[in-house]
């Protein structure tokens, strides 16, 4: 990546930070996003030309390199040209090469997909180097989406992902509430579950069950049994430490790691007792932070046993490796993109207008919903609801703000999500109020009913009861039918009866 492009991306991050803090307008941020997008496209085109030239000049070595990696099932590393210089980075490689694979790997000279590995190797031995189809190489190199919204938001290495484990132990278990429960999540999706009643760690995502063998689940089950024993002993210890003779108590543990948008990593480990903070790992200082005097004892014990160093190594190595592996298994699910359906509504009361912005059916979970006034984020004035799951695996969220009714045109809802190439802006468009019309029609109908009923009553008292055969006047039933049609037509239901539409006042 050139210094010029990197500077533009850094500028975009800075403008984005200012915009979120209300120090920059929406137009300023949008313009910077567009400039960065154009710069990335130009840089991509330039790199494609250079990479194409280097690869074509060194076909033989490149083909053999791909072949050896395929046989050993290794990831393709940095691509070198004929003199050993780095051609491109892993993150850029796939899409840059895909643009000209068709000319480098002619399909008519390539083995067919129906051939076995043995048959392919026979064909390869007849030539100086293997011939590989474009689709086959794309599968092994992966695909880099330069239009990925995460890249537009500053994700220049890979999309962010998270791995979380939650453990809970209770002193008084009951039906439906096991003594110990462990649950694992990747990007908010439940992937594994263990409890003290089943005493088995089981997959909760199909892609976990499909890619991991029984030996893996047996090993993880034993690990969870060890954690169960640790939490059982820990509960007894803490009750004695806090002079608690009995009752319902809980110990909760949470740890995990993240791959960040900029390619960096982070991890954490923390515990709570009876819903209050107890102990947390400070990975930078290799110490633990105690919440009270009781936690200080555990802090000293764990630091003496070098637990901080052990957890740091795990969170920065094994945890990240696990996360990458799980993301690879569940890529089709975890990296899918579902666009949010956004609805803006308003409710006015005593001159104040409550504007609500609701987003439905989006995936992944991470979303930002902000209210803007004249293009500036109103962070302090905005109320937010938690992002909650839907039954189909997508999510919904909302944000609301109070405004003066006369200033409603100054407000817009801004939604940022990985499925959107750039943030979307949505305004409230109030619908026309039909309530006064409906009330007027109903009152008029009641008056007509009273008049007709009085007329019919007068006719019968005079001995001239009307009837449909005689045709001397409308019957009460007929009048009510007409009124019902008028009511249906004028309350918005006439769409089912188009023949009556012209008569609606």
Query: φ, ψ for residue 98 (rounded to 5)?
Result: -60, -25
Residue 137 and residue 97: Cα distance in Å, rounded? Answer: 9
Residues of the chain with confidence (pLDDT) below 70: 1-2, 44-158, 432-438, 463-505
Within 10 angstroms of residue 151's Cβ, the number of other Cβ atoms is 21
Who's near 367: CB < 8 A, 6+ residues apart?
340, 359, 387, 395, 397, 415, 416, 417
pLDDT of residue 402: 93
Residue 116: its pLDDT value, please? 38
CA distance linking residue 374 with residue 16, whole number of Å: 16
What pLDDT is recorded for position 8? 76
| Res 163: pLDDT | 96
pLDDT at residue 72, as a whole number: 52
pLDDT (0 to 100) of residue 426:
94
* Nearest residue to 169 (alpha-carbon basis) of 159, 156, 158, 182: 182
pLDDT at 16: 81
Q: What is the pLDDT of residue 313?
A: 95
What is the pLDDT, as a whole number, of residue 421?
83
- Collapsing DSSP to helix, strand or coil, 452 comes out as helix
Which residues neighbour 339 within 8 Å (Cβ) at sequence distance 6 or greater?
361, 362, 417, 419, 420
Cα 293 to Cα 232, 249, 285, 299, 428: the distances in Å are 21, 18, 20, 10, 53
pLDDT at 86: 52
Nearest CA among 210, 207, 216 for reference residue 186: 207
The residues near 63 (Cβ < 8 Å, ≥ 6 apart) are: 129, 130, 131, 132
Which residues 6+ apart lie within 8 Å of 432 measured at CB?
none
Cα-based angle 297, 303, 307 (whole degrees, multiple of 5) = 120
Distance separating alpha carbons of residues 64 and 82, to the nearest angstrom: 13
């Amino acid at each position: 990546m050139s210094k010029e492009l990197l500077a533009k991306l850094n500028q975009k991050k800075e403008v984005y930070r200012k915009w979120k803090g209300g120090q920059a307008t929406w137009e300023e941020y949008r313009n910077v996003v567009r400039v960065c997008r154009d710069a990335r496209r130009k840089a991509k085109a330039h790199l494609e030309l250079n990479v194409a030239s280097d690869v074509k000049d060194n076909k033989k070595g490149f083909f053999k390199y791909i072949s050896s990696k395929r046989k050993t099932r290794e990831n393709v590393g940095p691509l070198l040209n004929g003199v050993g210089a780095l051609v491109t980075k892993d993150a850029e490689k796939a899409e840059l090469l895909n643009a000209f694979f068709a000319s480098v790997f002619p399909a008519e000279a390539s083995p067919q997909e129906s051939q076995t590995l043995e048959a392919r190797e026979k064909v390869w031995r007849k030539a100086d180097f293997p011939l590989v189809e474009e689709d086959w190489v794309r599968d092994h190199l992966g695909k880099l989406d330069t239009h990925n919204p995460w890249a537009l938001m500053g994700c220049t290495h890979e999309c962010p992902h998270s791995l979380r484990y939650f453990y809970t132990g209770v002193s008084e278990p009951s039906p439906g509430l096991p003594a110990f429960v462990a649950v694992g999540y990747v990007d908010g999706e439940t992937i594994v579950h263990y409890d003290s009643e089943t005493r088995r760690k089981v997959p909760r995502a199909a892609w976990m069950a499909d890619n991991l063998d029984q030996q893996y689940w047996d090993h993880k089950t034993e690990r969870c049994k060890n954690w169960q024993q640790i939490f059982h002993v820990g509960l007894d210890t803490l009750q004695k430490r806090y002079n608690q003779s009995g009752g319902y108590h809980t110990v909760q543990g949470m740890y995990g790691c993240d791959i960040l948008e900029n390619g960096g990593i982070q991890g954490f480990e923390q515990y709570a007792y009876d819903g209050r903070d107890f102990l947390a790992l400070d990975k930078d200082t290799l110490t633990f932070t105690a919440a009270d005097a009781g936690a200080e004892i555990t802090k000293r014990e764990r630091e003496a046993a070098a637990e901080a160093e052990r957890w740091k190594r795990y969170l920065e190595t094994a945890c990240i490796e696990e996360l990458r592996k799980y993301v690879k298994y569940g890529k089709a699910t975890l990296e899918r993109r579902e666009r949010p359906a956004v609805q803006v509504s308003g409710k006015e009361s005593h001159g104040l207008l409550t504007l609500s912005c609701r987003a439905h059916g989006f995936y992944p979970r991470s979303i930002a919903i902000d209210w803007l006034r004249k293009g500036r984020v109103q962070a302090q004035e905005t109320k937010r609801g938690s992002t909650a799951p839907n039954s189909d695996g997508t999510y919904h969220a909302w944000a609301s703000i109070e405004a003066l009714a006369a200033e409603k045109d100054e407000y817009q809802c801004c939604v940022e999500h990985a499925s959107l190439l750039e943030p979307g802006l949505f305004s409230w468009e109030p619908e026309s109020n039909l309530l006064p019309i409906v009330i007027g029609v109903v009152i008029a109908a009641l008056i007509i009913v009273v008049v007709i009923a009085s007329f019919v009553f007068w006719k019968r008292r005079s001995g001239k009861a009307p009837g449909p055969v005689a045709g001397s006047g409308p019957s009460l039933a007929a009048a009510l039918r007409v009124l019902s049609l008028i009511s249906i037509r004028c309350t918005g239901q006439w769409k089912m009866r188009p023949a009556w539409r012209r008569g609606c006042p």
